Structure 1
Amino acid sequence: MKRRLRSGMGASLLAVAACVALHSPHSLAARDAQSILRETCQGCHTPETGDKLSRISHQRKTPEGWLMSIARMQTMHGLQISDEDRRTLVKYLADTQGLAPSETDGVRYALERRLNTVEQFDEKTAQMCGRCHSGARVALQRRPAREWERLVNFHLGQWPSLEYQALARDRDWFDIARKEMVPLLAKRYALDNPAWQAWLKAAPKAEALAGDWSFSGHLPGKGELAGVMSVTADGSDTFKVSVKGQYADGSPFNGDGSAILYSGYEWRGNVTIDGVTMRQVFAAQGTAMQGRMFEAEHDERGLDFIAAKQGSQRLLAVQPGYVKAGGEAEVTLIGSGLNGKPDFGKGVQVLDVLEQGADRIKVKVKAAADARPGLRTVSVGGLKGPSLAVYGAIDSVRVVPAFSVARIGEGGGSTPKVQGRFDAEAWGKGADGKPYRIGVFPAQWKVEAFDERAKEDEDVKFAGTMQGDAGVFTPGDAGPNPARKMSTNNAGNLKVIAAVDDAGKSLSGEGHLIVTVQRWNNPPIP
């Protein structure tokens, strides 16, 4: 048991170190990729026709996917490789055997560390693959049928108890995996996809990403932000990055760092913002970037990020995205190439233009008292973008995410606590009776026992504390707690409750929070 624990922790530490390497530009002193493949990899992977190598040449993956493959070679097969060589190899493989942008659509949440995503896969894939790791990990790789079958064999050989675990011991797992899953995966995630070859031909030069980018973001527990990210070329597919922005409450969002581009669009950066290192995982295509920034040590502390290169024409965001019928509000439009007077649709009048620029327009608007509730498309000149919600009254409140996992930590141990971070979304009812999202509102937050067992175990008392004005839950310390029944740890099963005030009327919404134990194995793709 001790050996297994040390091995798991070693794999986790290696994955963390490798993930840091993924976001760092490689040194020009490292060996070239072909030398590494020939001198290091060819000892196990045999040459094939066309300069191919067995196994390696018959897969396509994201940068994180190739990183995990190399880490597995290190931990399971004793591969000796330097950090610099590993960076070089990941870069080469991601560039030559990566995924097209269309092949990552719908599953980028795993790359962006959105770990509270509730996946939507067919029942068979969820039960056969998604019970041990995310379905996205499967969807973010491409193989022919023979390689999918070898992956099945690898699973059973590496984890022989697999067939006796839940959702496997009640069925002929191996037979289903070979005869049903392999054909399904080979068809759904085939190695040969014209989209990848088309992308290789059409991908813009990395140098085109250099310049200033207007960006908008949202951090749960903190709010909206905007600013400019300056990108300077610093070598082949590598960049220096400078960020200057601020949150809606005026607090700064400034920092510097570096980034590297994989596969022609997979942007990975390390940027220190106000003393805190944050990772950038973006899809960068043409004059648009979109993805997530999150703290290197706390991936739950992350913000949605969307940007447009200055000089292009794009309307990114409306902050805040709502106004009450009969009321006034100051609204800021974020984008690039903004030129002209903003239009917020029927029933919304622009009273004053407070600030006007190519990347930022701030106006005071008023919604008519009889304005129909619903969404209006916002436009500036010929640009159309996000919607503005007009509402008469809030109909309901939703806690986002509706289901979340926090993790105990610290307490003398090596793993940090994993917070729960929530937003309170207000929803209205349109003139057609259909619900529509108004936006994120300030709320008062609390937690309660989710069920009678949680109440009996006093989970509210022990599992952690909720920041009442921000929706940030910090779990308790790791390790046994003598004050609890049977000295158990500080896990818990909680309701998350947000109360929003609407003109003196309080409306509340509920979410579900599981406070559980540490995650010891934390790979780049969960």
Structure 2
Amino acid sequence: MKRAAYLGSAVALLSISGTALAADGLQIIKKNCLSCHTETGNSDAPFSRISEQRKTPEGWMTTLYRMKTQRGLNISPEEEQVLIKYLSDTQGLAPSETLAQRYILERTPNKVEEVDPAYAEMCTRCHSGARFGMQRRTQGEWEKLVHFHMGQYPTIEYHALARDRAWFDIALNDVAPKLAADYPFKAQAWDDWAAKPKSDLTGNWMMSGYLPEKGDFSAQLSVIKEADDRYVLLVNGTYADGSKLNGSGSAKVFTGYEWRASLIIDGQALKQVLATDEQGIRMSGRMFVKGSDEIGGAITAVKAGSSPAIAAVSPTYVKQGSTQTLVITGANLDQPLSFGEGLDAKVVSQASDHIVVQVKAGADAPVGMRTLSIGSARVEDAIAVFDKLARVDITPNDSIARIGGNGGLIPKQKAVYRAIGYAAGADGKPGTEDDLKLGYMPASWSLKPFDQVAEEDHDLKYAGKIDARGIFTPGDAGLNPERRMSANNVGNLTVVGTVTEGEQMLSGNAHLMVTVQDYVRSLIQ
């Protein structure tokens, strides 16, 4: 299946007929799955294997995809979507169980994981830690997973980090019990969440976020209930440059909090992967371009209710002795506001969902973080007061872009960069843990060879270009007769972001490896 179509169907899961919605997930399992699985007679775990696992919606979709492509499962698209919904709702993950690894669901690019050494040696040499971290299984099911790997990939014991040890024995006797302890099927968090009443998300939400091609934005998201856990969406808002934002779409909610939406905004197809909080009044996650999930950014939405709620503040810094114009978005914001010690606020415009305010910091305003208060709403560390820009970091610090296109089926995979400013902390030394984070700052962008080999191979000429928005577009796929030995357009580059703050100009660097296409794509790699 093509990558764009696979990911699109995975995130949306929306077009379900009324007949299929009424179908019973249990009956779908009995109709389609019992040629391989069996009924156990145990009401707590009615089906062998199936009832001994818990997964995210993407995890269950991955399982069904494997069943169809490798095990001959024949199931209609409508039934498949109902089954994914049923399994996600009844055998999903609680919000607290997904917190540490939501980046894999949100398709966050260039994420560097921190993995337990026991898993790094045995598991993550082939796939991410989130692949197994976003599952819950009984110990018997974790053991069966080891056997599955041996049967499906019989050369696994001869790979690096396997052939120098008794891989199968370690995986079965050491790693499987550890997985069962770290990611148990039975968990109080899931029992509590499954019993908790779920929120209806209908209403008006104030959404704030960032899209690399357009910048910061704020918008009203109108959520209109169509059926249980299914919503129609209308979006109206403004980008930071003043241009308008309009769109519509649809969303579906799994497990009571997993929001998956498809939208068309200003003619562009976008996907949302968000999680609601347990009260159903705040959502956060990521929105990205359909088929190019690296082109996206974080978004936050708060529901309009009776109390004030703050979604976002932009920018998040003000310099001593200067005035900064800030935009605050949220709900019920037409109340008095305060930024704390040493800051004077002059409101330029104020509405229930949007405030423009000029904040002046005194020349002797204490350096540090400030709390924003609007009525009863408070955001700790909302604004940084700083004296001098001390350093600039580029995010992501290490990244990959992939050549593509040029008549091939696999498109280019771009990379997106942003600059984060810091002031020196109380110790006065930049580059320490004590530094004061100011937040994202405007930057100019350039590239240079990463090392001498990259310079000799002219990687800067062939590997790709970066634009004024910090979006890197790699070169074309295929052989390049202009390069030594007709090599393709891979390269090893340094991304340079330069921030101008008053009379200061400071730069930060990031490493970019431009490499070949990714021919193996999955929902959770």
| 2:40 maps to 1:48 | yes
How far does residue 488 in structure 1 lie from its aligned partner after superposition?
1.7
Q: For the Cα contact (< 8 Å) 1:449–1:495, is it kept in 2?
A: yes
Q: Tell me if the contact between 1:15 and 1:71 (Cα under 8 Å) persists in the aligned partners.
A: no
Partner of 1:97: 91
Residue 499 of structure 2 corresponds to residue 515 of structure 1: no
Q: In 2, Cα distance between the equivalents of 1:323 and 1:223?
A: 20
Does the 8 Å contact 1:25/1:238 carry over to 2?
Answer: no
Equivalent of residue 405 in structure 1, options 388, 400, 404: 400
Q: Distance in 2 between matches of 1:13 and 1:304?
A: 21
Structure 1: tracts of 5 or more residues without a match: 1-9
Residue identity in the other structure for 1:435: D
CA deviations over 1:178-228 (Å, ceiling 9, x no partner): 1111011000100001111111111324xx200000111123464321111
In structure 1, the residue matched to 2:494 is: 495
Q: Please give the alpha-carbon distance, in whole angstroms, between the structure 2 residues aligned to 1:390 and 1:401.
A: 25
Identity %, equivalent residues: 45
- What CA distance in whole angstroms lies between the structure 1 residues aligned with 2:288 and 2:442? 22
Amino acid at match of 1:455: E
Structure 1 Cα separation of the partners of residues 335 and 513 of structure 2: 49
Shift of 1:340: 2.6
1:200 maps to a residue whose letter is: A
Equivalents in 2 of 1:70, 1:258: separation in Å? 23
* Structure 1 residue 165: Cα displacement: 1.8
1:391 aligned onto 2:386: yes
- Displacement of 1:303 in angstroms is 1.7
Q: How does 1:348-387 map to 2 (within 5 A)?
A: 348-350=343-345, 352-385=346-379, 386-387=381-382
Q: Could you tell me which residue of structure 2 aligns to residue 302 of structure 1?
A: 296
Aligned to 2:431: none
Q: What does 1:245-264 align with in structure 2 at a 5 Å threshold?
A: 245-264=237-256
TM-aligned CA deviation for residue 169 of structure 1: 2.2
8 Å contact from structure 1 (residues 374, 429) kept in 2: no
- Unmatched tracts of structure 2, length 5 or more: 429-433
TM-score, length basis structure 1: 0.94
Q: 1:29 maps to which residue?
A: 19
CA distance in 2, matches of 1:384, 1:65: 36
The 8 Å contact of residues 54 and 91 in structure 2, kept in 1 or not, is answered as yes
Structure 1 range deviating more: 48-57 or 224-233 = 48-57
Normalized against structure 2, the TM-score is what?
A: 0.94
- The equivalences for 1:328-339 within 5 A come to 328-339=323-334
**Worse-superposed segment, 365-374 or 404-413:** 365-374
Number of the residue aligned with 1:477: 476
Q: 1:13 to 1:423 in 2, by over 3 A?
A: closer
Q: Distance in 2 between matches of 1:202 and 1:247?
A: 37
Match of 2:127 among 119, 123, 133: 133
User: SS state of the match for residue 415, structure 1?
Assistant: coil
Secondary structure in 2 matching 1:304: strand
Instruction: Determine the structure 2 residue equivalent to 1:506.
Output: 505
Deviations, residues 345-370 of structure 1 (Å, cap 9, x unaligned): 211111x2111122222111211112
The corresponding residue for 2:446 is 446
User: For the residues of structure 1 that align with 2:424 and 2:70, how far apart are their CA atoms?
Assistant: 56
The one of 184, 187, 198 equivalent to 2:178 is 184
- Does the 8 Å contact 1:15/1:68 carry over to 2? no
| Partner deviation per Cα, 1:431-454 (whole Å, 9 max, x = no partner) | 454201112111111111112222
Q: Is the CA contact 2:420–2:438 (under 8 Å) kept in the aligned structure 1?
A: yes
Structure 2: distance between partners of 1:176 and 1:296: 41
* Residues 13 and 81, structure 2, Cα contact 8 Å, conserved in 1: no
Q: Tell me which residue corresponds to 1:3.
A: none
Q: How does 1:214-233 map to 2 (within 5 A)?
A: 214-220=206-212, 222-233=214-225
In structure 2, relative to structure 1, the CA distance for the partners of 1:13 and 1:428 (3 Å cut) is closer
Instruction: State whether residues 347 and 371 of structure 1, in contact with CA within 8 Å, keep that contact through their aligned partners in structure 2.
Output: yes
How far is the alpha carbon of 1:339 from its aligned partner? Answer: 4.1
Q: What is the match of residue 325 of structure 1?
A: 320
1:495 partner amino acid: T
Match of 1:280 among 269, 272, 275: 272
Q: Is residue 148–residue 185 contact of structure 1 (8 Å, CA) maintained in 2?
A: yes
Aligned partners of 2:505, 2:213: CA distance in 1, in Å? 20
**Equivalent residue number for residue 461 of structure 2:** 461
- CA distance in structure 2 between the aligned counterparts of 1:120 and 1:60, rounded to whole angstroms: 23
Q: CA distance change for structure 1 residues 13 and 429 in 2, over 3 Å: closer, same or farther?
A: closer
Instruction: Report the residue type matching 2:41 in the other structure.
Output: T
Aligned 8 A contact 2:8 2:291 in 1: no
Take 1:275 and 1:297, find their aligned partners in 2: how far apart are those partners?
15
Does 2:112 match 1:118?
yes
Distance of aligned partners of 1:89 and 1:203 in 2 relative to their CA distance in 1, 3 Å threshold:
same
Note if contact 2:308-2:376 (Cα within 8 Å) is conserved in structure 1.
Answer: no
